[in-house]
Amino acid sequence: MIRDDAVPPLTIRILIEDRRRGLGLTKSELARRLGYRNIAKGLRRLDQVCDGRFEHAEALLKSLPDALAVDPVVVETAIAETLEQQRRAQEREWRAAFVPHAVILTERLTPEPIFVAAIIGVDRILRIDFDLSADRSTFVHQALAGIRARVLSWNRDTNPSARIQRIRWSAKISAYRTPRRVPIIGASGAR
């Protein structure tokens, strides 16, 4: 019985298993055809490739087309499809864990005094969590209210909205693809 949430096998695993069975080979025989004298090591590398982990498997990947009696393009295509499957799975996980919020960007990269940021916590100072029960169209207003509240709590400039540089609404706002990264509200000169 296959569950709806079951993850389909990777393309490279399907190729290797189908061709191995088609050729009537055991896993050990396939490892030997791949050029491994140490069969246990060959089996570990084969399992690693079937799981989509291609690092340290260059020799195996190079000899895989001959061992499976297929054109090298077939193996290259299976590897490319496997990498795409993994990328899509990672994207699904990221989206499932994503929670919209705002992050205040300041002119200074290092907070001053740094011990205050360490004691209070940078997230508490620069991160604005949204009320997710409210409509998404209120996120900008929630972000602005969060900035005002922080500025007032630190007795700084009472008109923080005059300092806002930009608002970006993108799920891929930075190289750091961690959950809880969007949207960003940039504040110039905030201290």
Of residues 183 and 167, more confidently modeled: 183
Give tens-digit pLDDT for 126-149. Answer: 788 888 898 888 888 888 888 888
For the chain, the structural domain boundaries read 11-96, 99-187
N- to C-terminal Cα separation, the chain: 58
Give me the pLDDT at residue 98, please: 84
Query: Given a cut of 70, is residue 6 above it in pLDDT?
Result: no
Give me the pLDDT at residue 183, please: 45
Bridge partners (DSSP) listed for residue 168 = 184
Please name the CATH architecture into which domain 11-96 falls: Orthogonal Bundle (1.10)
